[in-house]
Chain A
Amino acid sequence: MYDEEQSERLEEDSLAIAKELQDLQLAGVAAAQGVADA
């Protein structure tokens, strides 16, 4: 597996990237507004 430092970093990064995916999802909603059939 990973050492303790690597493991903690992976856990932290997973939370940060999940948030970035959520922000991207919202950016997509904003982009689609006003565009027919987007």
Chain B
Amino acid sequence: MFLTHGAGRRLGTLQTALREIFRYFPSSQAVVVPRDDLFIAQIHLQAFILNVSGVFDNWAWAFVHRHGLLAAIGDRRRVGMFISYTEEHLPAPLRDYLRQAHIRTWYSQYHKDYRDALAHRIPVHIPPAYFTEEEAQRHEELEAQKAQLIQAQDWQQLNVVWAEQDALGVPCPLFVHEYQIQGGAPYLHPQLLSDAKTVVEFGNLFYEAWQADQ
């Protein structure tokens, strides 16, 4: 169940999400991504992050069920590929992979933070654009005008202001989960590819170990 309906479905979602993010926000994007397209890319980004987390959980649960380990692990909340209670029961190739310094860093300093923020705090989003100082100032002025136009219910002029605001700046291929970017934010396209590669590398090891155990 966890392999077929869990991991299998999530791997399909990851393929689609990756394709759609590159479709709506291509790495070759030269002008600011239209608001609706950016929003669609963002939805796929959110699906991607949650399902990266979920596929590792599904593999952990499949392993625990197959080997009847829940009693030994002691608690459902201790089931997870990045939790030591589960990890210590894994075959050596899987344990060694997860214990690599760069994988631990990937999980603890990036992936878990973005996944938890998405699920419980501020959802991950792609900033609409990079601004020069002048553009940032103009963006703020237009933001103030928008508030006034909404108060005045002047929808026609509001659309004009939206259009000017949407044309400001250049594309910003980052993603963040706070309004202020602190300590750098990941670059969208390379980070997604790195995440997907991590899923593929670990997944191949997992299925090799699974088959060898039959």
Q: Which residues does A use to contact B, with CB under 8 Å?
A: 1-2, 4, 6-8, 10-11, 13-14, 17-18, 20-22, 24-25, 27-32, 34-35, 37-38
Minimum C-beta distance from A31 to chain B (A): 5
Main secondary structure of the interface of B (DSSP, over half): helix
Mark contacts of B143-187 with chain A using CB atoms, 8 A cut-off: 1 yes-contact digit, 0 otherwise. Answer: 000000000000000000000000000110100000000000000
Q: How many residues of B contact A (CB 8 A)?
A: 38
Residues of A within 8 A of B11 (CB): 21-22, 24-25, 28
A18 to B21, CA, bound (A): 12
Number of contacts between A and B (CB, 8 Å)? 99
* Chain A residue at minimum C-beta to C-beta distance from B196: A17
B4 proximal to A (CB < 8 A): yes
List the interface of chain B (C-beta within 8 A of A): 1-4, 7-8, 11-12, 14-15, 18-19, 22, 26-30, 62, 65-66, 170-171, 173, 189-190, 192-193, 196-197, 199-200, 203-204, 207, 210-211, 214
Pair A28/B3 contact, Cβ less than 8 Å: yes
The 25 listed contacts between A and B (C-beta, < 8 Å) are A1-B27, A2-B28, A2-B189, A6-B27, A11-B22, A14-B189, A14-B193, A17-B18, A17-B193, A18-B15, A20-B196, A20-B197, A21-B15, A24-B200, A24-B207, A28-B7, A28-B203, A28-B207, A31-B207, A31-B210, A34-B214, A35-B66, A35-B210, A35-B214, A37-B65
